[in-house]
Amino acid sequence: MIRLLANVQRHPSCTSSSIRTKCALVIVPLLFLLSIHVSAQTVTLRLTSEISSKMPSGTPFEARDSSGKIYRGHLVTHPARRMMRNGSMLLVFDDDVKAANNDPEGVFRGGNKVRLLKLGGSLALAKLADDSVDGAIGATKARYVGAAAAVGFLLFTKGQEAKLHAGDTVDVSPSR
């Protein structure tokens, strides 16, 4: 082994600057991979109270980790709106952590199950409205009444609120 190192040092292509360059080419990617691994660590928190997108922005909340440390923060909310727009909320922690979920910004949104049920309900309402006026005004005009009933139902129906119940878990990661 020592003989091999002696030969490497005598070789004219092995100057100290070329060795530094080769070491840098190896060390820099390793440091990058280690930094990705370290930043991917998450902590699971359990909420102490129920929170919803119906609450006003700035509402305080608390969550605890498994060791009992309390994380405090406030909500930034957007309530559900007309035309089936779902509500959303962002958990802003006082500590340097942020929610780690499927959304890249950590926003919690209302689900789509109720939206699909309301869409199916609007079709059923259109059929009922069509059938109820079919004999009185004729089949052609009844179709327009059914379409108007379905569109009116969809326009004036609110979306689903985003909700997290007491005891639900939220994964958080350190923010930079």
Local confidence pLDDT in tens for the 176 residues of the chain: 455 444 445 555 555 666 667 656 666 666 565 555 444 588 889 999 999 999 999 999 999 988 989 999 999 999 988 777 888 999 898 988 888 888 877 888 887 787 788 888 888 888 898 888 888 888 888 889 989 988 888 888 888 888 989 988 888 888 76
Smallest Cα–Cα separation from 90: which of 62, 109, 69, 71?
A: 109
Predicted pLDDT at 35: 56
Decide: 118 and 110 in contact? Cβ < 8 Å.
no
H or E element in which residue 52 lies: strand 51-52
Q: Which residue, 85, 87, 62, 86, is CA-closest to 72?
A: 62
Which residue, among 86, 83, 84, 82, has the nearest Cα to 53 in the 3D structure?
Answer: 86
CA–CA separation, 21 and 16 (whole Å): 9
For residue 60, the SS3 value is: strand
CB atoms < 10 A from the CB of 164, how many? 20
- Residue 4, pLDDT score: 45
Give Cα 19 distance to the centre of its chain: 46
Helices 113-137, 139-155: inter-axial angle, 10-degree rounding: 150
Cβ atoms of 56 and 67 within 8 Å: the answer is no
The predicted pLDDT at position 1 comes to: 46
